[in-house]
Structure 1
Amino acid sequence: MDVVEERGELPAVHEAWLPREHALHRPRHGGRQLTALLSALVFFVTPTMLWVLGGRPSEIENHPLAGLPGISEGWGVFTGLPGWATDQLVFRATAIQAADDISRAVFGEPAPLDQGGGPPAGPLPGETRPEPETDQPDPGTGERGGWRVVEGTDGWLYLSLDSEAKCEPARPVRETVHGMTELRRAVEASGRQFVFVIAPDKTTMVPQHLPERYPYRECSRAVAGDFWRLLTGRGRALDLRPPLASAAERIGRPAYASNDTHWRDEGSIVLTRSLAEAIRPGITDGWVTRPDGTYTAPSDLPTVLGRREEKTNMRYELRPDGRTNIHGPYIPDTDTPVRTKRAPLPGMVEKPTLIFGDSFVNTSSSYLPAAFSDLTMLAYPSMSEHLDAVVQEFVDAEVVVVQSVERAVAGGWLPYLDDAFIERVRAAMAARPVR
């Protein structure tokens, strides 16, 4: 007789109830799960409650506040919530400032704030570049999201990229000069005027407040002389260093703010006057400028360190005919063409002019319309988003001004020197020559 062994099924038992020695034992995590859920609830609900009570977050970094992700974004709803909640913390600016103050008082150096290696996201428009591998920042260097600030003497701040660009360029400077020469030939062959102007870095114009040690110090100093000789020689770039130095001597202080990477209003007037003279020599002989009070504006470099500061500048009247003051509003956004047009006055360039540049054009936008009766300002960093419009602006202009900051030229981060773009502009302008 066969013996049949009957095996009864074990009763269902939760794995957490099994003996600890059992191979299938798994402890319960209810307490930890509850803590995690409560933490998430507090993190995401707190911004909403503070908003209901009247608290409002403010932008303290180099990017706009993150918006609440929508359902249409799919899984992006979950990946975007942490960024939104972080940006909506009302007292974040105070916490960052407190952390920085404590770090300076206890350790004698700025708080690290962010050691992330993400791509740079400001604060300076006009510098699109790959993220190179760099040395660790020296003491006295703060960084946030890829941008680094060098802290100099007497509270002066500098952008480390001024030096880094000369040492780790995306392309050799000679290739940049060659590309600029080709763009110049394309414009001038169509009967148009072409001006290339470089806005000097603050590191170049105000080196006396730099610290003794900072990243890329020796390398950048070694190549700076050759860089400028090549650009102002073969590159035929308009050199603003002498007039900026003269302006600083005249006002008794540097033409750059201590906590901003851009020049003051004196630098904007230097750019405006230099461009007008390059296009039509002697046109500014009758210009009259005089101070017209001071104003304050947010400064950009402290935002990289996680704090907010302002700069104080002198405002000026600019009278191209010696009588009529033309001082327009500041134009913060030139990603799409911004055109200003008025009846020409003596001392103004009357030819339709395109100024294709970076954030230094925005900084100078209150003064540039005083020199041009028909002016279009357009930013090149975002040119890939509206390439057809960029080409059309080149065609519509009789004078093309290309402006770039020194660090972008040294680093080779100039998208308008792409061969395909130059050939496209060449063909479009040749089809509508200026005679």
Structure 2
Amino acid sequence: MRPYDRPPNPRQQSRLPAVHEAWLPREHSLHRPRHARRQTVALVCAVVFFTTPLIAFTLGARPTEFENRALAPFPSLGDGWAFFTDLASWATDHLVLREEAIHAADAVSRTLFGEPAPFGANRQGGVPIQSGPSQPTEVQYPTAIEGKDGWLYLGEEIASHCEQVQSLTETVTQLRKFRAGVEATGRKFVVVVAPDKATVVPEHLPDRYVGKECHQRMVDEFWRLMAGEDYVIDLRDGLRAWGQQLGEPVYGPQDAHWSDEGGVLMARTVAEYLRPGISETWRITPGPSWSVPADIPPLLGRSGKTVGRDYAIAPDGETDQTWEPPTEYRTPLKLNTASGPGTYGLSVGLLGDSFTIRALPYLAATFGNMTVLHHGTAADDGGAAVADMLADKDVVVVEIAERSLVRGGTALINDPALSNILDKLSG
């Protein structure tokens, strides 16, 4: 038998050439097209998703802060594994056109489904709870809460009371340590707590919301503890009284912060704490109205306005000394134009947060030697900038939001920043 007459080897006959399945004949049972219609659509969507932000960036678009907080910083390689876990937050925050995408998603959801888009939970995560005998689940707190009559509340106000970094007892202990260290150097010390909107105006909260029970419980516990600290200023009654006088709350329906009434009240109360009777000569008169973009709607992919009114303060009863300082104080901001009767002249270092913004014009009118610095800078350099700013001051004032103090872990009142600050002041 000639070699070419031999029957084919079955083992050799079963072998197929090593080719991609897309190259097989269409009638072959293993044939798969390289790009099916769904694959093509997915590929086009991916190209659009990744190239649109890149093109927008090339044309000058940049990520912006629109969620009532600073953009997440690029994580440090020195953070170990946290570098990788924090990288996702940085990438998300710095995605160009993210704000526009959130607005579009909310508009589509409300138009097609009649409900707001289910945006992600609070960035701080959830707390484990027991949903069964041994099955833990995680509570997800929304970034914003839609209340009654069009009112919006910041989700962090609820989450901070329900998932704390440290206990209230520990936080109070740290505040006392701060006070004792400052007063041991001969300086005065005072803390102003800016109440949450959900604390001062709770009546517009929805009947049901995630964390309702623990929020209400912790609000009562927090303010009970604050009442026992004689260096802490509680503005709740003053804010409510001014709201009753105006016929409307001093917190806007769509904003997380107090209006200028809170700023005036803060300036006056701090001045009175430091020098009782100083404001007896003050003449406070309402000025023109203002309107600015509200800070909570962007969290829901929407936009809105918050309105308020300016005030003029004449410390001596005659001359208005109010002016509009810059609202950026991540570096020290000096207020040194006020003078004469009714003004406070000793040097003051104020460590504030976003609530301080609407107090700046009135602090500038009544404090002749004040320097303002955001207390969040203590997290950046271990309190070095705070310590340097306070080194030559006679008075230390801390303004801090209720939600920040309740959650705990604020860099300013925890080590290493707190110890570094006190060491500098006592040196």
> TM-score interval w.r.t. the shorter chain?
0.7 to 0.9
**Alpha-carbon distance in structure 2 between the residues aligned to 1:272 and 1:28:** 72
What's the counterpart of residue 134 of structure 2?
none
What's the counterpart of residue 190 of structure 1?
185
Structure 2, unmatched stretches of 5+, are 4-8, 73-87, 130-139
**Alpha-carbon distance in structure 1 between the residues aligned to 2:109 and 2:165:** 34
**Alpha-carbon distance in structure 2 between the residues aligned to 1:249 and 1:88:** 42
Asked whether 1:316 is paired with 2:316, we answer no
**Alpha-carbon distance in structure 2 between the residues aligned to 1:184 and 1:55:** 47
User: How far does residue 211 in structure 1 lie from its aligned partner after superposition?
Assistant: 1.8
Q: 1:256 aligns with which of 251, 254, 276?
A: 251
Aligned CA distance change for structure 1 residues 227 and 258 (closer, same or farther; 3 Å): same
Aligned CA distance change for structure 1 residues 369 and 176 (closer, same or farther; 3 Å): same
Contact kept, 8 Å, 1:299 with 1:310, in 2: the verdict is yes
Q: Secondary structure at the match of 2:370?
A: strand
User: How far does residue 260 in structure 1 lie from its aligned partner after superposition?
Assistant: 0.7
What's the counterpart of residue 133 of structure 1?
127
Q: Which amino acid aligns with 2:111?
A: I
Q: 1:394 aligns with which of 383, 386, 390?
A: 390
Contact kept, 8 Å, 1:349 with 1:373, in 2: the verdict is yes
Aligned CA distance change for structure 1 residues 214 and 235 (closer, same or farther; 3 Å): farther
Contact kept, 8 Å, 1:60 with 1:306, in 2: the verdict is no
Q: Deviations over 1:219-267 (max 9, x none)?
A: 2223433321211213641111121122112212111111111001111
Asked whether 1:380 is paired with 2:375, we answer yes
Q: 2:422 aligns with which of 409, 421, 426?
A: 426
Which deviates the most, 176-185 or 27-36?
27-36
What's the counterpart of residue 29 of structure 1?
34
Q: Secondary structure at the match of 1:360?
A: helix
What's the counterpart of residue 346 of structure 2?
351
Asked whether 1:102 is paired with 2:111, we answer yes
Aligned CA distance change for structure 1 residues 45 and 134 (closer, same or farther; 3 Å): same
**Alpha-carbon distance in structure 2 between the residues aligned to 1:239 and 1:232:** 8
**Alpha-carbon distance in structure 2 between the residues aligned to 1:93 and 1:276:** 43
Asked whether 1:302 is paired with 2:323, we answer no
Q: Deviations over 1:311-353 (max 9, x none)?
A: 1101111111222222332543222221122252211111111
**Alpha-carbon distance in structure 2 between the residues aligned to 1:64 and 1:236:** 30
What's the counterpart of residue 368 of structure 1?
363
Q: Secondary structure at the match of 1:291?
A: strand
Contact kept, 8 Å, 2:330 with 2:377, in 1: the verdict is yes
Aligned CA distance change for structure 1 residues 401 and 224 (closer, same or farther; 3 Å): same
User: How far does residue 308 in structure 1 lie from its aligned partner after superposition?
Assistant: 1.0
Q: Secondary structure at the match of 1:367?
A: helix
**Alpha-carbon distance in structure 2 between the residues aligned to 1:20 and 1:371:** 85
**Alpha-carbon distance in structure 1 between the residues aligned to 2:338 and 2:99:** 48
Q: Secondary structure at the match of 2:416?
A: helix
User: How far does residue 428 in structure 1 lie from its aligned partner after superposition?
Assistant: 1.6
What's the counterpart of residue 15 of structure 1?
20
Contact kept, 8 Å, 1:60 with 1:303, in 2: the verdict is no
TM-score of the superposed pair, with normalisation by structure 1: 0.77
User: How far does residue 58 in structure 1 lie from its aligned partner after superposition?
Assistant: 8.9
Asked whether 1:157 is paired with 2:166, we answer no
**Alpha-carbon distance in structure 1 between the residues aligned to 2:143 and 2:257:** 16
**Alpha-carbon distance in structure 2 between the residues aligned to 1:210 and 1:89:** 28
User: How far does residue 193 in structure 1 lie from its aligned partner after superposition?
Assistant: 0.6
User: How far does residue 94 in structure 1 lie from its aligned partner after superposition?
Assistant: 5.9
CA RMSD of aligned residues (A): 3.7
What's the counterpart of residue 72 of structure 1?
none
**Alpha-carbon distance in structure 2 between the residues aligned to 1:65 and 1:190:** 37
Structure 1, unmatched stretches of 5+, are 67-78, 121-129, 136-144
What's the counterpart of residue 179 of structure 1?
174
What's the counterpart of residue 169 of structure 1?
164
Q: Secondary structure at the match of 2:385?
A: helix
Contact kept, 8 Å, 2:338 with 2:366, in 1: the verdict is no
What's the counterpart of residue 78 of structure 2?
none
Aligned CA distance change for structure 1 residues 95 and 167 (closer, same or farther; 3 Å): closer
Q: Which amino acid aligns with 1:352?
A: S
Q: 1:111 aligns with which of 117, 126, 136?
A: 117
Aligned CA distance change for structure 1 residues 324 and 93 (closer, same or farther; 3 Å): farther
**Alpha-carbon distance in structure 2 between the residues aligned to 1:355 and 1:405:** 14
**Alpha-carbon distance in structure 1 between the residues aligned to 2:102 and 2:407:** 33
What's the counterpart of residue 97 of structure 2?
88
Q: Secondary structure at the match of 2:356?
A: helix
**Equivalent residue pairs, number:** 388
Contact kept, 8 Å, 1:342 with 1:373, in 2: the verdict is yes
TM-score of the superposed pair, with normalisation by structure 2: 0.79
- Determine which structure has greater relative contact order: mean sequence separation of CA pairs < 8 Å that are 6+ residues apart, divided by chain length: 1
**Alpha-carbon distance in structure 2 between the residues aligned to 1:266 and 1:176:** 28
User: How far does residue 85 in structure 1 lie from its aligned partner after superposition?
Assistant: 10
What's the counterpart of residue 139 of structure 1?
none
**Alpha-carbon distance in structure 2 between the residues aligned to 1:64 and 1:419:** 23
Q: Which amino acid aligns with 1:253?
A: E
User: How far does residue 188 in structure 1 lie from its aligned partner after superposition?
Assistant: 0.5
Aligned CA distance change for structure 1 residues 55 and 391 (closer, same or farther; 3 Å): closer
Q: Which amino acid aligns with 2:116?
A: P
**Alpha-carbon distance in structure 2 between the residues aligned to 1:415 and 1:48:** 36
**What percent identity do the matched residue pairs reach?**
32
Aligned CA distance change for structure 1 residues 131 and 290 (closer, same or farther; 3 Å): same
**Alpha-carbon distance in structure 2 between the residues aligned to 1:416 and 1:61:** 25
Q: Deviations over 1:19-61 (max 9, x none)?
A: 68999x6745156776555444444555687899x99799584
Contact kept, 8 Å, 1:50 with 1:90, in 2: the verdict is no
User: How far does residue 407 in structure 1 lie from its aligned partner after superposition?
Assistant: 1.4
Q: Secondary structure at the match of 1:327?
A: coil
